[in-house]
Structure 1
Amino acid sequence: MDINEKFKIDGARIVEVDIPYAIPFQISGGVSYSRKSLIIELLSDGIVGYGESAPFEAPFYSSETISSAKAMLEEWILPRIIGKEIQSIEDINRIINDSIRGNNFAKAGVETAYWDLVARKNNISLKALIYNKLKELGTTEEYLRNESYIYSGASVGIPEDNSYETLAKWIKEYIEEGYKRIKVKVKPGWDLKALETARAVVGNDFILWPDANASFNLKEHENILKEMDRYNCTFIEQPLHHDDIFDHCKLSKMIKTPICLDESLKSERIAEQTIEIKGSRIWNIKVQRVGGLYEALKIYCLASKHNIEVWGGTMPESGVGGASILALSTFAGFKYPACIEPSSRWYGKGKDIKEMVMDKDGKIHLTEEIGIGEINKDNYEKYGKIVYENIL
């Protein structure tokens, strides 16, 4: 497919959105009551591409926050591209990464907006553009196979009342709604009993795993992590430090349950090092965490050559940011139900900027529109405000 990726950026906007959660979402590091994020608009010849930068308001998941990402975008990243002719998706990645360390969430907002712009200018879907780029990267044929849908799994936060009865009630409701996997947020003090509660509700054969969001310490919590073997979990997601791959490798030799990397997996380079030390062979790919869709594709391509199992994660973003990982997660290397959930799960029906809908079988179907597709302008205006605008 002959795709033109070369376009001049005529301007950009940052729209800060704040969509209330249907119920508060608590992980080991903190609790959120709404999804505040930054929607990035890139303009070229009257066409607008949309991306999303979605750190939390506080730095409990990553070092970035909404305010830090906004400053990085305004002061450093957007001035580099406005008025400039971008040669390709690879080129915009080079531009936003040159001499700017970290700040992956800020970068992801601009980078994914450029993907959407390229797709819209070529009158193709984001998925078609992803497929073409995966082929260019040398992804194996098996990992190029894809479906028109993904299976969704529920990510169950820690109840504000710290009640196991509430946890059990939530899980039961999610199973009845059709979710194909339950992920339980855990932390020291909310760990084995939470898994015991979840397993009692879902039964012995249902896909279940804990997500610790880097809250355990290997020396201090070794016994608790070993005891998690009792609950027949598919894997344990990021139990140890957010920057670690070495202790995770050590832990994998101490317990039966496999280890999955999340927070630690920030780049293709770290993925390569994980393979080299014979570390985790299950990876959560998040577009936000790795700094954009192109880096996510490189990690996926690497996984395809080493038989690494991957699955798609979200922060969660709005449907604007979720569109990228939804399209990528339809490819065959994504082995487990994703953290891509219907918009109604987070915000209530009809309140997202771009609605994602799950059917009774736990499937979210990908409608291959142009780019990421149409957004809900009414909700965009209702929940969003322009905080930066530079149009040439």
Structure 2
Amino acid sequence: MEVRENFQIDSIRIKEIDIPYAVPFQISGGISYTRKSLIIEIHSGDTVAYGESAPFESPFYSSETISTAKAILIEDLIPKVLGKEIKSIDEINFILNDNIRGNNFAKAGIETAYWDLVAKKNNMSIKDLILYKLKELGTTEEYLENNDYIYSGVSVGIPEDNSYETLKDMVKGYVDEGYKRVKIKIKPGWDLKALEVTRGVIGDDFILWPDANAAYDFEKDLDLFKEMDKFGCNFIEQPLNCNDIIDHTKLAKNIKTPICLDESLKSSKLAKQIVEIDGPKIWNIKIQRVGGLLEALKIYAIASQNNIEVWGGTMPESGVGGASILALSTFKGFKYPACIEPSERWYGKGKDIKEMVMDKEGKIYYKEEIGIGEINQENYHKYGAIIYDSKSC
């Protein structure tokens, strides 16, 4: 199969969307009531492609925010690619990373839009383009196998009223809806009891893990993590500092429960270093966090060559950004139910820019479409406002 990757970027537009959450979402660092995000449109000839940049409004998950992403996109990233003929997906990644450190969420917006453009220009799905690039990266045959669906796992935030009864009701409701895994957000003071309550609802054999979002300290909290072993969790997600891989590796050797890296896994370079130090062997792959889809594929390829188990994570994005991680998460190396959840869970029925639907078995099916597929233009207009248009600048 021959795929053309070189296309002219004629113009770029940014729309800021703001969709209210059906239920406020709280993690260890903060709480969100709406999902603000930046949708990046790349126009090339008569083709319009879409990507997403989805940091939070405050810097409690990453150093980036909606405000910083806007500034970097408009002042630095867009001028580097606007009006240019890009030779390949690899080249646009090189251009976006040249002399611009970090700012991965901002980069992901343009980068994923270019993937959508390439797929649409070649009249192919984003999943077929992913498979094509995974083969180029030397991904093992086992990890190239894929399904037409993923199992969805629910991410349960800390209840706004900090009530264990509320947590119990939330978990029971989600399991009854068909989710195949429960992840609960934890923080100091909301951890052991929260796990105990959750296990009491779902039983001993249901897939469960806590996500700390980097809220704990290795030396101070080691005994607490040892106590978590009794809950039989599949792993503990990102318990320590967002920039750490050494203490996570030490923690993994001091407790029975495996450790999963999320915030610390920012690039394929770091993925290689984690392998070299015999670090944690479960990785969360988020396209936003690593700066785009190609970097996510590079991490997946490294995982395939080193028997690392991975699973798909979201911020969550809207369905625009979610389309790419859904496509990637159908590949066999993704061993755990993803954080890709139906749109109705986050926003209520029919409000997403691109709807994702889960059946009663907890499956979200990947629909073969050209590029990322059609988006809901009515919702896009209702919840979105143009904040930048290169044609008017």
TM-score by length of 1: 1.00
Q: Which residue does 1:224 correspond to in 2? A: 224
**1:159-238 to 2 correspondences below 5 Å:** 159-238=159-238
Structure 2 residue 345 is matched with structure 1 residue 345: yes
**1:320-335 to 2 correspondences below 5 Å:** 320-335=320-335
Q: Which residue does 2:62 correspond to in 1? A: 62
Q: Which residue does 1:77 correspond to in 2? A: 77
Residue 215 of structure 2 aligns with an amino acid whose one-letter code is S
Residue 188 of structure 2 aligns with an amino acid whose one-letter code is P
Q: Which residue does 2:258 correspond to in 1? A: 258
**1:355-374 to 2 correspondences below 5 Å:** 355-374=355-374
Q: 1:62-92: per-residue Cα shift (whole Å, max 9, x none)?
A: 0000000000000000011110000000000
Aligned residue for 2:39, secondary structure, equals: strand
Q: 1:268-298: per-residue Cα shift (whole Å, max 9, x none)?
A: 0101110111010000000000000000000
Q: 1:49-69: per-residue Cα shift (whole Å, max 9, x none)?
A: 100000000000000000000
Residue 388 of structure 1 aligns with an amino acid whose one-letter code is Y
Q: Whole-Å Cα distance in 2 between the matches of residues 318 and 45 of structure 1?
A: 26
Cα distance, 1:46 vs. partner?
A: 1.4
Cα distance, 1:223 vs. partner?
A: 1.2
Residue 39 of structure 2 aligns with an amino acid whose one-letter code is I
Aligned residue for 1:391, secondary structure, equals: helix
CA RMSD of superposed structures (Å) = 0.6
Aligned residue for 2:36, secondary structure, equals: strand
Residue 254 of structure 1 aligns with an amino acid whose one-letter code is N
**1:85-164 to 2 correspondences below 5 Å:** 85-164=85-164
Cα distance, 1:265 vs. partner?
A: 0.1
Aligned residue for 2:390, secondary structure, equals: strand
Q: Which residue does 2:5 correspond to in 1? A: 5
Q: 1:242-264: per-residue Cα shift (whole Å, max 9, x none)?
A: 00000000101110000000000
Cα distance, 1:391 vs. partner?
A: 2.9
The answer on whether the counterparts of 1:24 and 1:31 sit within 8 Å (CA) in structure 2 is yes
Q: Which residue does 2:36 correspond to in 1? A: 36
The answer on whether the counterparts of 1:10 and 1:391 sit within 8 Å (CA) in structure 2 is no
Structure 2 unaligned regions, length at least 5: none
Q: Whole-Å Cα distance in 2 between the matches of residues 158 and 54 of structure 1?
A: 21
Q: Whole-Å Cα distance in 1 between the matches of residues 176 and 58 of structure 2?
A: 33
Cα distance, 1:220 vs. partner?
A: 1.4
Structure 1 unaligned regions, length at least 5: none
**1:284-299 to 2 correspondences below 5 Å:** 284-299=284-299
Residue 165 of structure 1 aligns with an amino acid whose one-letter code is E
Q: Which residue does 1:21 correspond to in 2? A: 21
Q: Whole-Å Cα distance in 1 between the matches of residues 133 and 222 of structure 2?
A: 42
Q: 1:325-367: per-residue Cα shift (whole Å, max 9, x none)?
A: 0000000000000000000000000000000000000000000
Q: Whole-Å Cα distance in 2 between the matches of residues 3 and 205 of structure 1?
A: 45
Residue 98 of structure 2 aligns with an amino acid whose one-letter code is D
Residue 140 of structure 1 aligns with an amino acid whose one-letter code is T
* 4+ aligned runs moved over 3 Å, structure 1: none
Residue identity (%): 71
Q: Whole-Å Cα distance in 2 between the matches of residues 301 and 274 of structure 1?
A: 14
